[in-house]
Amino acid sequence: QAQLVQSGAEVKKPGASVKVSCKASGYTFSSHAIHWVRQAPGQSLEWMGWSNAGNGNTEYSQKFQGRVTITRDTSASTAYMELSGLRFEDTAVYYCVRGGGDPWGQGTLVTVSS
């Protein structure tokens, strides 16, 4: 069945960038969108943006515009989310999600610490 597997936890310093990967299997990667959602500790879910995995078009939440970049490599069935200018408040679990709302990746914890 469809599955998304994300890269491992990261620890970054303020001002740095982080790039999280999301490898898809069990379905035709280019036929579905990939969304990115984050969840700060004890908080609700926050949508960051999405990519049309077929043509690479993207749309970002205004909150992250200019700091987030979503890309994909169709040959590797993998999507990527890069967040730059990291702040302490970017500490969160980052999820990739297939368009339609399922499945979700297992999540990647990004910790921003000096």
Dump strand ranges (E) for the chain.
3-6, 10-12, 18-25, 33-39, 46-52, 58-60, 68-73, 78-83, 92-98, 108-112
Shortest spacing between CB 33 and another protein, in angstroms = 10
For another protein, which residue of 37, 81, 86, 110 counts as binding (CB under 8 A)?
37
CB closer to another protein, 106 vs 113: 106
Shortest spacing between CB 64 and another protein, in angstroms = 11
Q: Are 74 and 53 in contact (CB under 8 A)?
A: yes
For another protein, which residue of 44, 75, 89, 114 counts as binding (CB under 8 A)?
44
- Which 60-99 positions form the footprint of another protein (CB under 8 A)? 61, 95
Q: Does 46 bind another protein (CB under 8 A)?
A: yes
Cα 49 from Cα 111, distance rounded (Å): 20
Query: Phi and psi dihedrals of 93, rounded to 5?
Result: -95, 130
Interacting residues toward another protein by CB under 8 A: 35, 37, 44-47, 59, 61, 95, 100-102, 104-107
